[in-house]
Amino acid sequence: MEEEEILERNQFEELIQGLIDNKYGCSNDFILPSTVIGLRDTIQILSESGKMKLAGVGNSTINKQDNEIRGDKINWIQESSVNPFEIIYLKKVRKFIDHLNKTCFTSIKSFESHYSNYEKMSFYKRHVDQFKNEKGRKFSIIVYLNQDWQDEDEGQLSLYPESGNVQNISPIGGRIVFFRSDEMEHEVHPSSTKERKSIAAWFKN
């Protein structure tokens, strides 16, 4: 087994073990720095061309904008993308899903992803990712694309396990967070110093 494959397997196992032990997994350097830069630059290009749109609240049937709940702008990533950095990201996520299905019998059949850009002071209030009338989402991941993020920049992700202490996670570039869509309440806090860039994705059966 090649070194890269061993590293990937260890990352996947770290995420799965975290989910088992703590209700969430977290792994650093899931995406290499060069890919983080490429994806971050892609968000900037999308923003400058007006293609990052204010996100709504709800599913495809009931979707409305509410700035008191969330303030991020999003753009969906297509599975057929020809962007070289998106191709690297999509390939890595597919490998993780294959590993999940083989080792945990999760029967994930597809996933969807979008870029998220939080401008200064924007946030997303406490919520879960599973809709009451749409049960397809099983697992959520967040991949961070930020540069030189420091604790004083704030903007952390708070996870609220049903039993246990609140977990605050800094959005450091390359880091991934993994949890069940229908169980883990979470919240994105504002940053007064920087914009906050990431990819959010959901594994579906």
Which pLDDT score, from 0 to 100, does residue 163 have?
A: 79
Domains and CATH numbers, the chain: 3-54+70-204 (2.60.120.620)
Q: How many CB atoms lie within 10 A of CB 28?
A: 13
Tell me how far CA of residue 61 lies from CA of 56, 57, 84, 156, 161, in angstroms. 11, 11, 32, 30, 28
The two tokens of residue 37 are 């830069």
In tens, the pLDDT along 21-78 reads 999 999 999 999 999 999 999 999 999 999 999 997 655 444 455 678 999 999 999 9
H or E element at residue 164: none
Provide the residue type at 21 as one letter: D
Give the relative orientation of helices 33-48 and 84-104 as an angle to the nearest 10 degrees.
120
DSSP secondary structure of 49-95: TT--EE--EE-SSSEE--TTTB--EEEEEPTT---HHHHHHHHHHHH
Prediction pTM value: 0.93
Q: Who wins on pLDDT, 183 or 133?
A: 183
